[in-house]
Amino acid sequence: MRLIIREDPDAASAYIAKYIIDRIKAFAPTPEHPFVLGLPTGSSPVKIYKILVEKYKAGEISFENVVTFNMDEYIGIPREHPESYHTFMYKHFFSHVNVHPRNIHILNGNAPDLEAECVAYEASIKAHGGIDLFLGGIGPDGHIAFNEPGSSLASRTRVKTLAYDTILANSRFFGNDLEKVPKMALTVGVQTVLEAREVVIIITGAHKALALQRCIEGGVNHMWTLSSLQLHPHPMIVVDEDATLELQVKTVKYFKSIEKVASSQGFEQILPSTVRTGPRKEPVEPVPEAKEEPSILSPQPVTSTLLAAPATEYPVRSHTPELVPDRMGSRITAY
């Protein structure tokens, strides 16, 4: 885990923006070998987008060969709705830079078959060779994307019902009318995020201090879905001073010293050199293994998969089996 602490949200955002730009540049993406970037919406990343746009306009970075995947989208509001995440991304980022619309992937909350949309999204990520860098933010309850507290840490892209807290919080964008707030969303799963080669999270503000504390100092817990990041081989969390309010002084000092020592020794806290510089090999088409669906007779512990992260393949999200009522009599051994 890398925890980067900066004075204020501006400095934290600037750090991440610079980091993303450096990563894309080092990657030297080409049309055949694009950089795959996962993107969030919300208030915390707005400043990051602003800096990225500035740097693009200053000619310091091009997004021509960048493929993007967004985290989530509401279900049932029009794509051009002012609060849709399509609109957010267009307004804050896509309309200002040269990401080609062909390279943009955002879940379609109006798809006729939402389940199929989710499966296709996962397949599309896989077909692009996986996500190189997933940028994210969190909610005050530690949720990443729309993976609300209690979401499975092995979850994949799926339909998600929003927590009441989230609906309440979002009602301010919908004229304070709870009826108008979408109750469901499509979101990437925790596992989808963890599969990215790198995950970068921005957390700013005192109201998120408790979430940061739970996710770093607490154990892996599905009530704070970001805590799953502890299982990722290469996560980075960038925070401002306010967000560290709930952390132990020891924790803060430790992470600050890591950064200080690393820079004094002349190496930055970035990815291992092979990942950083080596041209990515041809993405290997994963051979779908015939995996048995976990059942009540042969349960499959989720942690076994989690601990093996980054796993390269996972079963496509299992559908809830149809309820087929049987006769009670059939369960009783006849004497």
Minimum Å gap between C-beta 100 and other proteins is: 6
22 catalytic residue (yes or no): no
Residue among 90 and 174 whose Cβ is closer to other proteins: 90
Minimum Å gap between C-beta 106 and other proteins is: 8
DSSP code at position 92? I
Residue among 15 and 94 whose Cβ is closer to other proteins: 94
Residue among 52 and 229 whose Cβ is closer to other proteins: 52
Q: From the candidates 86, 105, 143, 234, which is the catalytic residue? A: 143
132 catalytic residue (yes or no): no
CA dihedral 186, 192, 196, 201 (to 10 degrees): 60
Tokens of 277: 């510089």
Residues 6+ apart with CB under 8 A from 333: none
One-letter amino acid at 181 equals V
Is 135 in contact with 200 (CB distance < 8 Å)?
yes
Residue among 37 and 193 whose Cβ is closer to other proteins: 37
Residue among 57 and 180 whose Cβ is closer to other proteins: 57
195 catalytic residue (yes or no): no
8 catalytic residue (yes or no): no
Calculate the alpha carbon distances from 65 to 86, 103, 284 in Å.
Answer: 20, 8, 20
Residue with tokens 């599969």: 195
Minimum Å gap between C-beta 73 and other proteins is: 11
DSSP code at position 237? E
Positions touching other proteins (CB under 8 A) are 57, 79-80, 86-87, 90, 94-96, 100-102, 104, 106
What is the spatial distance between Cα 179 and Cα 310, in angstroms, rounded to a whole number?
40
What is the spatial distance between Cα 118 and Cα 188, in angstroms, rounded to a whole number?
8
Measured N-to-C along each axis, helices 46-57 and 9-27 cross at an angle, to the nearest 10 degrees, of 50
Is 143 in contact with 304 (CB distance < 8 Å)?
no
Please list the active-site residues: 72, 141, 143, 148
